[in-house]
Chain A
Amino acid sequence: MTLSRRTFIATGLAAGSVLHAPVVFGQSRPKVVVIGGGAGGGTAARYLAKDSKGALDVTLVEANPIYTTCFFSNLYLGGFRDFESLQHGYDGLAASGVTVINDTATAVDRQARTVTLAGGQVLSYDRLVLSPGIDFKDGSVPGWSLADAEVMPHAYKAGPQTQLLKQMVEAMPAGGTFAMVAPPNPYRCPPGPYERISMVAHLLKQTNPTAKILVLDPKDKYSKQALFEEGWQRHYDGMVTWVGPDFGGGSVEVRPAAMEIVVDGEVQKVDVCNVIPGQMAGKIAQIAGVTDDSGWAPVDPASMQSKLDANVWVLGDSSAQGDMPKSAFSANSQAKVAAMAIRGELTGSRTFPAKYSNTCWSLIAPEDGVKVGASYEPTPDKIASVHSFISQTGEDAALRKVTFEESLGWYAGITADIFG
């Protein structure tokens, strides 16, 4: 079995275009361009190249030479991971047969089916996959713009911003105040801000135990709320104050120059301010014109194909698909459905009904891990949740430890699945 399989792959590579001669596209290999080499785009590019065994010409356009995962970046803040462990290069994708171009896509001409890069290169495509993540909505938090991110970091796209936030927390004066302006729905990683609060609290508990944490939230409830509240009380009693919309959490103005926040008209001095603004699909999806009034890109639940252009697929955070949370797990799951559908169209390979799933682990304190997850199916109008589960309050320490260890296994697994 092993031998014949190897042989098959070897022949497949050498004579791919003959074996899988595309019905519609004649002699040249059909071209797929993927914009964004993160959880969605990296997975899609890798599976397209790997599974088509050379029959598709797959090009990945990614702005950064190294990808830093947002997932587990909170664990870096808490001191549980080093920064390098969050970073992944693109050699594995290249080895799978993907042409990786390190540049930024600046324009998409859907009529001509071309993508223009900042460096001037123009790529033509038969199918385009967009997985550019998120961008921030201007004016979402009064007083804050992207230019203020050096003073009040968002740290919601991992990289230098994450390192900056950590330095700021470490430099807080004794008994100082860390404030977070939490985002309105929908945003990437629903438990992300609250896992971050847990990790900052953990760090401060060691180095600055009289410090205070203030969360200003426009939402009246949030993901895994009961689990986080229980954990904060158990591990960081009295340190975290959460202010919901009833008490002004939804009407916050920030003054970066003065390091002040104004909550319901009341001015307060803070030492660190993490502003996580409202979000929308990555800019290139807006530029390509595949987003709607919501700021996100509507897709067909059965395939992740754009509802506005049959040659375009939108994955991950940028897509508006229904019930799936914006997570790396979701983006990875959607990418596999999309890769199968695109391969089916371009090479005539078999297609199967879409299956989607998601699980998000969060760390509350050392070895105190929790998780939430669901499986999903396409329905005519959305990707709908069919079954879900969540960790329970009051679970014993052994289970929480296993859950944490499982999350380490997940990180190793998904990064290998995305980057090869």
Chain B
Amino acid sequence: MRRRHLLSALVLLAVGVGIWPGAGPVAAAPIGDAERGALLFARQCSACHQLGKGAVNRVGPQLNRVFGRTAGSVEGYKYSKSMARMGSDGLVWTLDTLDAYVENPRSLVSGTRMAYRGMKDAEARSALLAYLREWSDKPQNIPEAEPTARASGLVLDPAILAIQGDPDFGEYLSSECTTCHQRDGSDQGIPAITRWPTEDFVAAMHAYKRKLRPHPVMQMMAGRLSDEEIAALAAYFTTLD
């Protein structure tokens, strides 16, 4: 296993440098250390998820062939409302989206039932994803990430989280949200946005901004918010009861 990765890394170095962005799926980068990933999976995931020959749904859905799959689509598994919604909105598990999800599940799928706090270390995540990847169909047919750049994940710069939002500004900005999202927190058809932990709110908005979360209206709305504006909104929404 390790050998193959090493090899492709070498090929990559030789051929890829300089023309990297256009190199296409063939020259995909190694994801990470799959052997370490197997250990991580055993320790942190296997209590709820099965992977490998004969894997079935348990507390969580089985994870074979997760790459390229639409979120919330394993047959026979009862997903949270949030995960189902993300799936119909078009969330597909790629290296990028899985990386963001494993890093901080709720930044990508707010109401996920997965009671996992997230894996902060990027290298560990790469290892885990490399292992998961081994159990997706014909790995060579699936581009590792689109285009071929290594996933950026949703590593929020601590400086972004540290911004003190201006709640007055947030109140004005929030009026754009309340055309659809109700201030009283009802969530028929459209999710509630009140009572969120500030960090989750900020992470979710950045996930839309970076188009990791799929919804077109939200990508458009968040897409033009600056870091300060996202902080202002978060500051305002925490004042609502």
Chain A residues with a Cβ under 8 A of chain B? 1-2, 5, 47, 51, 329, 332-333, 336, 340, 350, 352, 355, 357, 359, 371, 373-375, 386-389, 398-399, 401-402, 405-410, 412-414, 416-417
- Cβ–Cβ contact B175 & A387, under 8 A: no
B178, B180, B239 — which one has the most chain A CB atoms within 10 A of its CB?
B180
- Cβ–Cβ contact A410 & B189, under 8 A: yes
Return A213 CB to nearest CB of chain B, in Å: 29
- Cβ–Cβ contact B172 & A371, under 8 A: no
Chain B residues within 8 Å of A409, by CB: 180, 187-190
Interface string of B153-192 (1 = CB under 8 A from A): 0000000000000001101110110111111101111100
Return A406 CB to nearest CB of chain B, in Å: 5
Return A404 CB to nearest CB of chain B, in Å: 8
Chain A residues within 8 Å of B221, by CB: 357, 375
Near A by CB (< 8 A), chain B positions 52-98 give 85, 87-90
Q: Knowing that A336-B176, A399-B88 touch, tell me 17 more A-B residue pairs with CB under 8 angstroms.
A: A332-B179, A350-B168, A357-B179, A359-B217, A375-B221, A387-B224, A389-B219, A405-B189, A408-B189, A409-B180, A413-B190, A414-B180, A416-B178, A416-B182, A416-B183, A416-B184, A417-B183
Chain B residues with a Cβ under 8 A of chain A? 85, 87-90, 168-169, 171-173, 175-176, 178-184, 186-190, 216-217, 219-221, 223-224, 238-239, 241
Q: Tell me the bound Cα distance from A350 to B239 in angstroms.
A: 19
Identify which of B88, B168, B183, B216 contacts A373 (C-beta below 8 A): B216
Chain B residues within 8 Å of A402, by CB: 85, 88-89
Interchain Cβ contacts under 8 Å between A and B, 19 examples: A2-B239, A47-B175, A332-B179, A336-B176, A340-B172, A350-B169, A352-B169, A352-B172, A357-B176, A359-B217, A375-B221, A389-B219, A389-B220, A406-B180, A408-B188, A412-B182, A412-B188, A412-B189, A416-B178
Considering the complex, give the chain B residue whose CB is closest to the CB of A354.
B172
Considering the complex, give the chain B residue whose CB is closest to the CB of A351.
B172
Determine chain A's interface SS by DSSP, over half rule. Answer: helix
Whether A389 contacts B179 in the complex (CB less than 8 A), given A352-B172, A413-B190, comes out as no
Return B75 CB to nearest CB of chain A, in Å: 14
Chain B residues within 8 Å of A355, by CB: 173, 176, 224
Q: Tell me the bound Cα distance from A337 to B144 in angstroms.
A: 45
B178, B183, B220 — which one has the most chain A CB atoms within 10 A of its CB?
B220
Identify which of A51, A387, A406 contacts B189 (C-beta below 8 A): A406
Q: Tell me the bound Cα distance from A51 to B241 in angstroms.
A: 17
- Cβ–Cβ contact B180 & A413, under 8 A: yes
Q: Tell me the bound Cα distance from A408 to B182 in angstroms.
A: 12
Identify which of B168, B180, B239 contacts A410 (C-beta below 8 A): B180
Return B179 CB to nearest CB of chain A, in Å: 5
Identify which of B176, B190, B223, B239 contacts A387 (C-beta below 8 A): B223
Whether A413 contacts B181 in the complex (CB less than 8 A), given A357-B220, A357-B221, A399-B89, comes out as yes
- Cβ–Cβ contact B223 & A333, under 8 A: no
Whether A414 contacts B179 in the complex (CB less than 8 A), given A398-B88, A409-B190, comes out as yes
Considering the complex, give the chain A residue whose CB is closest to the CB of B188.
A409
Q: Tell me the bound Cα distance from A1 to B241 in angstroms.
A: 9
Considering the complex, give the chain A residue whose CB is closest to the CB of B172.
A352
- Cβ–Cβ contact B178 & A413, under 8 A: yes
Q: Tell me the bound Cα distance from A374 to B224 in angstroms.
A: 11
Chain B residues within 8 Å of A408, by CB: 188-189
Chain A residues within 8 Å of B223, by CB: 375, 387
Whether A412 contacts B179 in the complex (CB less than 8 A), given A5-B239, A389-B217, A399-B90, comes out as no
